[in-house]
Chains A and B, each alone.
Chain A
Amino acid sequence: MPTFEYAPAPQSRDVDVKPSHGLFIGGEFTDPVEGQTLETLNPATEEVLSKVAVAGMADVDRAVRAARAAFGRVWEPMPGRERARYLFRIARILQERSRELAVLETLDNGKPIRESRDVDVPLAAAHFFYHAGWADKLEHAGLGTRPRPLGVAGQVIPWNFPLLMLAWKIAPALATGNTVVLKPAETTPLTALLFAEICQQADLPPGVVNIVPGAGATGAAVVAHPDVDKVAFTGSTEVGRQIARSAAGTRKKVTLELGGKAANIVFDDAPIDQAVEGVVNGIFFNQGHVCCAGSRLLVQESIAEEFGERLRRRIQLLRVGDPLDKNTDVGAVNSAVQLAKIRELTDAADAEGATRWTEPCELPDRGYWFAPTVFTDVAPAHRIAREEVFGPVLAVLTFRTPQEAVARANNTPYGLSAGVWTEKGSRILWMADRLQAGVVWANTFNRFDPASPFGGYKESGFGREGGRQGLAAYLKEASA
């Protein structure tokens, strides 16, 4: 008897990846002073995609000087209306070149093409549209009558949403009149460098956006540069602490968007099928490489068993494999380093007595893969319940009452996001009041919108990105 199978439906890989990339400084691609390069891999195949120039101290300094010059000469004096036009142009080019960007993102990052196509790229364009509209309305944003830009923003972004995080950083910075030196992640620099080309196509004045690829040292140089007025970082809490320390005692304004260990709380009166979807999406979206991932499932005891069965049945339908296949739900882990971290934490969970269940699926021979995994019998003290895995791994705990759910959800140094699943509206709001999290999703999860502020409580960082509040991070009120 024949069966219904999705034949592979690969997105044709009709995108030329340049064999080498320079730094983008002052509107031009240039070679690094020290001549260092890094290789960026396709994590699904381990093949080298491109050699990318690494920015050293001197290059970062060049970039900051280019940004400073552009700030003083062009970008700050320019009326908001004109800045808006550049941002609108960039937004349009992102839309026009969306397929190219999506394929490149998937190649470099390992995320499923469906996600880069339907989430990352359209949202990145939306961020530019949204902020383009603010550029000439800043005096109406409730942030003072004469809000002024800060100057040069040094921005360091992670590898989980390379283009989208770039948009979260660059769009508000530019809209508010700041210029930018941005360091993409070591393992995912390609879409940022394509974005540099897009800046050229948009005729963006040279120096307004500078892209300096590299690893931790480059990021540290950007953050520590004395002529940087503003530091924006998304990444691990550990690096966030170092940045906060590095900026301490300076005049630099800092926003940090760091790690998370979000609780997805399912009550017994939840819309059960949608809750299953939301929990699955909450942890397996983007291979769990999401700072706000719902990595802890807190399920009410009375439905824990049934919910667990539904969850496993649903997880078995997840299609793990070739990220370029349009039917793939879960792609490759971004790097060998990350894969090792995931393995370390899941091994610790085994050792501490949690029960592991892994989706029975075939994984490709080459590349970095981790099958969707659920741990039950997890105690709040287990590492798997406390530490950020940043992978497709869910820890299941239970609760009996709303108070207990809140107490368990808040029992973490993190505070980025939380999910609440119940059909009872007043309980959602009661919970939302008590959850220490910057974003609370109710009967949904992992929703992002340029109009909606995002950011964490406690050690998940400070400052918000998106919405009216996100503008505040890039503005100061001019003295009269």
Chain B
Amino acid sequence: MTTFADAGVLDEINRDDTGLRRWLHGLPGVDEVGADARAAVLGTRSIKTTSKAWALDLAIRMVDLTTLEGADTPGTIRSLAAKARRPDPEDPGCPQVAALCVYNDLVEEAVGHLKGTPIKVAAVTTAFPSGRASLAVKVADTRDAVRAGADEIDMVIDRGAFLSGRYAKVYDEIIAVREVCAEGEAVRGRPPHLKVILETGELVTYDNVRRAAWLAMLAGADFVKTSTGKISPAATLPTTMLLLEAVRDWHVLTGRAVGVKPAGGIRTAKDAIKHLVLVNETAGPDWLDPDRFRLGASSLLNDLLLQRRRMAIGAYASAEHLTLG
């Protein structure tokens, strides 16, 4: 497929409020009813047997196992790390999750428990979840996590600035955080991946979601992520679909692949598989990879394991065989 436009046009965008507005508001609109209808149809796709087993394992490999509670302790991180390494203690064949997602003061703890595994440690930063702090604080917050050895940084955008049209502020903050990530090269040999959380539930309209995704990609996001999980609605099928459309079109335009991470509200294996169908039919099979698609969740993993177990034993499984996370 040819590119829709010359990627060179991106160089011509003035990175100030006016220039960014002109560009973002020139993106095609999203018809809410039509987008919802398309996502709903994809939600009815039916997956069976071998594909389902494969899809469940893929979904487990995509999970960013998350704990973001004020009550988190080194102890809860230790047990969650154990769960990440060995999701189903009764089945060594069960794949490991993609990452453990924690607050930045617990990054060191998580890194320690996951040493020697391919499991990544993701840290939420930039005054997560509200993002209401000065840039200096956000930078320091991120730097903390990077120095502690985080492989991935999940930052939030300034939704207030976005909604009031101060796109340059949002853009500049992402750039600043990305620069801090670059410092990580010295710590881990490569800079942490940057995931940009749009908090789509606060952006409200699909037009805003699309614009925020493009803005984040322009600023160099490695991933665009729907939500913090602290606001309802969090990830929904239509918003995930919009992000997948955005990364698809961005790839066509620039050749650069950006990942997508729906987070919050995905609780069942059925939800997860619906998301995978969405990935397959929107961004395409190349995105069916933990490097390009993640599922941010806490309780989802257990349901995936339950369904996996059900397929293995051929009967409905009980959660008592699963470990608490």
Q: CB distance A423 to B48 under 8 Å?
A: no
Residues of B within 8 A of A4 (CB): 51, 54-55, 58, 276, 280, 285, 288
Docked pose: A317 CA to B280 CA in angstroms: 10
Q: Tell me, yes or no, whether A9 is within 8 Å of chain B by CB.
A: yes
B322 → A minimal CB distance (Å):
25
B82 on interface, CB distance cutoff 8 Å: no
Closest-CB distance, A112 to chain B (whole angstroms):
11
Chain A residues 1 to 46 lying within 8 A of chain B, measured CB to CB, are 2-9
Contact of B164 with A by CB under 8 A: no
Q: A4-B276, A4-B288, A309-B4 are in contact. Are A274 and B46 (CB under 8 A)?
A: no
> Quick one: which of A7, A9, A271 contacts B34, CB cutoff 8 A?
A271
- The answer to whether B30 and A7 touch across the interface, beta carbons within 8 angstroms, is no
Q: Tally A residues with Cβ within 8 Å of B.
A: 27
When distances are taken between beta carbons in the complex, the residues of chain A under 8 Å from B176 are none
Could you say which residues of chain B place their CB within 8 Å of the CB of A271?
A: 28-31, 34
Task: Tell whether, in the assembled complex, residue A273 and residue B28 are in contact, meaning their CB atoms are under 8 Å apart.
Answer: yes
A315 to B231, CA, bound (A): 36
Cα A7 to Cα B47 in complex, Å, equals 6
A2, A274, A309 interface centre (most CB from chain B within 10 Å): A274
Complex alpha-carbon distance, A2 and B29, angstroms: 36
Q: What are the residues of chain B within 8 A of A114 when measuring CB–CB?
A: 44
* Assembly CA distance A270 to B31 (angstroms): 9
**Minimum CB–CB distance for B303 against chain A, Å:** 20
Mark interface residues in B1-41 (1 if CB within 8 Å of A CB, else 0): 11010000000000000000000000011110111011000
Find residues 42-58 in chain B having any chain A CB closer than 8 Å to their own CB.
44-52, 54-55, 58
A278 at interface (Cβ–Cβ under 8 A)?
Answer: yes
Chain A min CB distance to B239 (Å): 13
Q: Which residue of A lies closest to B245 (CB)?
A: A273
Chain A residue at minimum C-beta to C-beta distance from B34: A274
Point out the residues of chain A lying under 8 angstroms from B37, CB to CB: 277
Chain A residues within an 8 Å CB radius of B55? 4
> With contacts A277-B34, A309-B2 known, is A9 near B28, CB below 8 A?
no
Give A149 Cβ to nearest chain B Cβ, in Å: 38
How distant is the Cα of A306 from the Cα of B2 in the complex, in angstroms? 9
Determine the chain B residues whose CB is within 8 A of the CB of A274 once the complex forms. 30-31, 34-35, 38
A7 and B280 in contact, given A271-B30, A309-B1 (Cβ under 8 angstroms): no
Complex interface: chain A residues within 8 A of B245 (CB): 273
Selected from A2, A306, A423, the residue in CB contact (under 8 A) with B54 is A2
Contacts of A9 in B (CB 8 A): 46-48
Q: Is B172 an interface residue (CB 8 A)?
A: no
CA distance A277 to B52 in the complex (A): 27
Return B147 CB to nearest CB of chain A, in Å.
Answer: 36
A382 at the interface (CB under 8 A from B): no
Chain B CB within 8 A of A436 CB: no
Say yes or no for A327: interface residue by CB 8 A criterion: yes
The interface residues of chain A lying within 8 Å CB-to-CB of B30 are 271, 273-274
B281 beta carbon closer than 8 Å to chain A: yes
**A326–B44 CB distance below 8 A:** yes
* In contact, A269 and B34 (Cβ under 8 angstroms): no
Whole-angstrom CA separation of A2 from B280 in the bound complex: 13
Residues of A within 8 A of B34 (CB): 271, 273-274, 277-278, 443-444
> Nearest-CB distance from B27 to chain A (Å)?
9
Taking a contact as CB atoms under 8 Å apart, the answer to whether A5 and B51 are in contact is yes
Residue of A nearest to B33 (CB): A444
**Is A125 in contact with chain B by the CB < 8 A criterion?**
no
- B53-92 vs A, Cβ < 8 Å mask (1 yes, 0 no): 0110010000000000000000000000000000000000
Among residues 307 to 340 in chain A, which have CB atoms less than 8 Å away from a CB atom of chain B? 309, 313, 317, 326-327
A272 at the interface (CB under 8 A from B): yes
| CA A152 to CA B34, docked complex, whole Å | 41
* Alpha-carbon distance between A118 and B29 when the two chains are bound, in angstroms: 28
Docked Cα-Cα span, A272 to B206, in Å, equals 13
When the two chains form their complex, are residues B45 and A423 in contact, meaning their CB atoms are under 8 A apart?
no
B38 touching A6 by the CB < 8 A rule? Answer: no
CB-CB contacts below 8 Å: A442-476 with B? 443-444
Shortest B279–chain A CB gap in Å is 8
Complex contacts, B288 vs chain A, CB 8 Å: 3-4
Give the one of A269, A271, A309 with max B CB within 10 A.
A271
CB distance A443 to B47 under 8 Å? Answer: no
Chain B residues with Cβ below 8 Å from A278 are 34
| B43 CB → nearest A CB, Å | 12
A326 with B31: CB separation less than 8 A = no
Q: How far is the CB of A9 from chain B (nearest CB, A)?
A: 4
Contact of A270 among B28, B50, B285 (CB under 8 A): B28
Residues of chain A within 8 A of B47, CB atoms compared: 6-7, 9
Contacts of B45 in A (CB 8 A): 6, 326-327
Least CB distance from B273 to A in Å reads: 10
List the B side residues contacting A5 at CB < 8 Å: 51
Q: Which A residues form the contact surface with B (CB < 8 A)?
A: 2-9, 114, 118, 269-274, 277-278, 306, 309, 313, 317, 326-327, 423, 443-444
Given A273-B30, A443-B33; 4 other pairs, CB 8 A cutoff: A4-B276, A4-B288, A5-B51, A269-B28
**6 closest A-B pairs (Cβ-Cβ)?**
A274-B34, A9-B46, A272-B28, A271-B31, A274-B31, A7-B48
25 contacts between A and B (CB under 8 A): A2-B54, A4-B55, A4-B288, A5-B51, A6-B45, A6-B48, A6-B51, A7-B47, A7-B48, A7-B49, A7-B51, A9-B46, A271-B29, A273-B28, A274-B30, A277-B37, A278-B34, A309-B2, A309-B4, A326-B44, A326-B45, A326-B46, A423-B29, A423-B31, A443-B33
